[in-house]
Amino acid sequence: MEYVKDIKWKTGISLQDFTQNLGSVGFQSIELVRAGEAMAKMKREGAKIFLTFTSNMVTSGLRGLFAQLVQLKMAHVIVTTVGGIEEDIMRSKGEKFIIGSFHSDDVSNHEKGLNRVGNLFITNESYSNFEDMMRPMLEKIYAKKKRISVNELIHELGLLIDDEDSIIYQAAKNNVQIFCPAITDGALGFHLHLFQQKHPDFIVDIIQDFKNLVGCTSFDEKKGLIALGGGVSKHHAILGALLNGGFDYAVYMTTARPSSGSMSGATTQEAKSWGKIKDDSDAATVIGDVSVFFPLAIMHALEVLHKEGIITSE
């Protein structure tokens, strides 16, 4: 039987000691530590790890952490939304996103060409520059292949990037597949549309993409899921694994609530009713802001794995 323990500050407390102490405080702090332990176990036991996240997390400073996880072999398959691809490319080409306020004047923001994502801003100029980036990149890809799946397209884009902190660069370098089922739901989709007007034989094959997702793992392989946020990125990974027996390990982090009945708010417990997660899986659901909770949980896992000699620091 475990008991609640008081957490106290002490000079020079290490990250691992701090997160370990959180595990006896209560409420979401306990789930946070369980999440970290589940992520460490995925790696320790050789599971194929699916990492899913929504585009707003790439807008934030989590982008470099995601790229690092690919580098550290803590993510073997990625599923995201199209903004995450766009903004990763923007940042890789030197675009900067502004820290602002949740309470800024959005009418004024619009007039200034500032697009707000929570308390972060992306300028219209960045999107204009993105258009200039995409045309030559798509021309190079088109010269190699006229019909291409979405994950192959993202791989080719990654080969054209030179930035160690880029998710798609690291994925291409480390042979990690990135799936983006809603590829048209953003600026990249618009530029693909424009490019196809000029090159009607250029086909981005979403059905082939799903085939590649299902084929990237097997029924007998151990599988782990780290789902940050919800929606299509979370569900697409779950669906791919469901057809291969479901996940052995799962961590969900979200601000959505299960009372809505949504995919975003669905817990790891609910997932067992579908067979998405196995009955005896190591699973944790953390309700809270991923920009705070995920760095704490994953760095707890990385510290544990580093001490065990399973991963090495860069």
- Residue positions annotated with a catalytic role: 276
| The 3-state secondary structure of 69-138, one letter per residue | HHHCCCCCEEEECHHHHHHHHHHHCCCCCEECCCCCCHHHHHHHCEEEECCEEEEHHHHHHHHHHHHHHH
Identify the three-state secondary structure at position 164.
coil
Contact 250, 222 (CB under 8 A): no
- Between CA 24 and CA 32 the distance in angstroms is 11
Contact 89, 64 (CB under 8 A): no
Token couple for 42: 């995925």
Contact 150, 89 (CB under 8 A): no
